[in-house]
Structure 1
Amino acid sequence: MTDPSTAASASSIEAHTHVLAAEHAGTETAGAPGKPDKPRSLASDAWDDLRRRPLFLIAGSLIALVLLMALFPFLFTQTDPGYADLARSRQGPSAQAWFGYDNQGYDIYARTIHGARASIVVGICATTLTVLIGGTLGLLAGYYGGWLDGLMSRVADVFFGLPFVLGAIIILSSFGSTGTTSVAQIMFLVVMSIAVLSWPVCMRIMRSAAITAKQQDYVKAARALGASSSRIILRHMLPNAVAPVLVYATIALGAFIGAEATLSFLGLGLRAPVVSWGVMIADSRDIIRVAPHTLLFPAAFLTATVLAFVMLGDAVREALDPKTR
């Protein structure tokens, strides 16, 4: 005879086995049958982490709004930013002009919307050029080392010792002082001055990341297999060293927008007929006591944009840093 307790235990084990088999079959059905799950990359992990951060959502929404203003200003206003009426000079905000009028009778709201384009273009171009120069030099210095690393480091030290405002004054005063300088030439000089004075920071960040990546096993394995230096740099080191540079570029973009406004306020950057937040702030400095609204609104948009890029950079840095998870 079979013991009742033994039979109960056997039936229980058999039922449990059927349950596990059913769960296993359901798991295989949900995924790819017979295939292991694809490993997730650092970018996908970072994106999943960013989507859950309120700081990223707020900063991304502000930046998206500013970019929409720069690309399609007609969606926000139909007023010509170049139309002036001296009869409305210094009038405050009203239903006809939400932000009021400046000293020349320009609609401040229309000029604030259209001014986003010049500020964003200068910031993006300056950031791109800075990352290209500094990232390339830092990657080469970190990989080859030796005399090239020493030379790049000493050149970077020279630029580090030059104050940004003083260096920009020298560059823009030397090359952009002629009255025949066009708007495109002025924008090019502003972008060049920012990039020339800012690339050492990006170079040092990329150099440190390249030195760390060069010591990893996958680089040593690629070198042992006979891979060329260019292949090692572009296929192995660059993808694993670009994360800190990406964080720097995000924060630097906001800083460069503020730098353009600073240079325009000093009379060395963009100037009329270009419409930018820096130009509007420069035009309001003489009438700020009698018409503070001429400074308030462009300065508020400039501050919010710079702060949004800084917050975005902080969120990206925390998402790409595995130590914070």
Structure 2
Amino acid sequence: MTDTLRQEPSLAGHDDGAVVSPQAESGLWSDAWKQLRRRPLFIVSGIVIVVLLVMALFPSLFTGADPTFQVLDRSGEAPSAGSWFGRDLFGRDVYARAIYGAGPSLAVGLLASLGTVLVGSLAGLTMGYFRGLTDSVMSRIAEIFAGIPFVLGGIVILTSLNKPGEIVGSTRLVVQVVLTIVLLSWPLAMRIMRAAALASSQQDYVKAARALGAGPLRIMFRHMLPNCLAPVLVYGTIQLGVFIGAEATLSYLGIGLKDPVVSWGVMISEVQARIIQMPHALFFPAAFLVVTVLAFVMMGDALRDALDPRGR
């Protein structure tokens, strides 16, 4: 009885965010970092991603050519010393366009991944904490969006936003594609966060915080979120590569990004009718796209293995 009474004040002393030990939380991430540094998969994918980010931010470091400059009499020219990746239908340098295409492609993937994780995490955290009617209603809403085929949904949304033949600015196109991907993809992030939040809401540190008078927002964002973040972080990393591929798919269908925006999907779309005559104009942007998607998928796999306690 005396020991019990002595333990109660120490519990009250954890009211200000120390219900979850900061040392334990930092220990999880530091341990994960130690594991990641020993994984070749993480190192290789990290190097590729860093190079891609530098390419997207500073394309002039990799090429001095203008990706929009047309030389019509060199249309479809094969790769050569003067034009490493050859030229496309309009005589534009494929290498320069592939380099400059990294920016819009990565921007769409990054923004779509952030948006999907943000929307899905907020919804899943709310459902996992409140449960009951809130969980049921939001689950039905998520099932509606999850039941829409991605390509069909993208076609309907993007064709509804833009009239046929309408000239749309580059920024507006990027925003539309990002919002479309987020709208069609958030339910999966929600399910991952909801499952983690349901498990977290039953833990002793949440019950203790609730007993000590902490409000719902404090419990959700101060105590539950840090312990639910790992699986969503892994999902977001993998989906970043997937969303870059999704942008290429929508652009190939002619409903995503369009000229004058330079992206790998736009480059693939422009050459689809002349693949036999100029296969190099398809191969090189497709190779950049595949390498990028694989790099983010490998990074996500490495993060998952490092953050999964069962794998240690």
Q: TM-score, normalised by structure 1?
A: 0.87
Aligned equivalent of 2:112, options 98, 121, 126: 126
1:268: Cα distance to partner?
Answer: 0.1
The corresponding residue for 1:155 is 141
- For 1:78, the aligned partner's letter is G
% same residue: 57
Aligned match of 1:54 in 40, 45, 58?
40
Q: Counterpart amino acid of 1:110?
A: A
Larger Rg computed on CA atoms:
1
1:320 aligns with 2:307: yes
5+ unaligned residues in a row in structure 2: which ranges?
A: 1-22
Letter in 1 for 2:107: V
Match of 2:210 among 191, 204, 223: 223
What is the aligned length?
A: 288
Q: Give the secondary structure class of the aligned counterpart of 1:254.
A: helix
1:304 maps to: 291
Deviations 1:159-180 (A, max 9, x none): 1111000000000010023513
| Equivalent residue for 1:212, pick from 199, 215, 223 | 199
Measure, in 1, the Cα distance between the counterparts of 2:246 and 2:80. Answer: 31
Supply the distance in 1 between the matched residues of 2:163 and 2:65 (Cα, whole angstroms): 32
- Specify which of 226, 230, 248 is matched with residue 261 of structure 1: 248
CA RMSD across the alignment: 1.0
Aligned to 2:55: 69
Q: Distance in 1 between matches of 2:27 and 2:202?
A: 21
Note if contact 1:272-1:279 (Cα within 8 Å) is conserved in structure 2: yes
- Structure 1 partner of 2:161: 175
Letter aligned with residue 148 of structure 2: L
2:17 maps to which residue? none
> Residue 101 in 1 paired to residue 87 in 2?
yes
Tell me, in whole angstroms, the C-alpha distance in 2 between the residues paired with 1:244 and 1:177. 40
Return structure 1 stretches of 4+ with deviation > 3 angstroms.
none
Counterpart secondary structure, 2:122:
helix
Partner Cα separation in structure 2 for residue 160 and residue 274 of structure 1: 30
Q: What SS is found at the alignment partner of 1:290?
A: coil
Equivalent residue number for residue 111 of structure 1: 97
d(CA) in 2 for partners of 1:65, 1:151: 44
Match in the other structure for 2:64 = 78
1:92: how far off? 0.8
Partners of 1:213 and 1:240 within 8 A in 2? yes
Q: Which amino acid aligns with 1:207?
A: R
Q: Distance in 2 between matches of 1:171 and 1:207?
A: 27
**What is the SS of the residue equivalent to 1:101?**
coil
SS of the residue aligned with 1:41? helix
Please say if 1:45 is aligned against 2:48.
no
The answer to whether residue 252 in structure 2 is matched with residue 270 in structure 1 is no
Q: What is the distance in 2 between the residues matched to 1:207 and 1:194?
A: 20
Q: Deviations over 1:31-86 (max 9, x none)?
A: xxxxxxx7651111101100000000111111111111000101100001110101
* Corresponding residue number in structure 1 for 2:4: none
TM-score normalised according to structure 2 size? 0.91
1:176 and 1:189 in contact (8 A); partners too: no
Shift of 1:211: 0.5
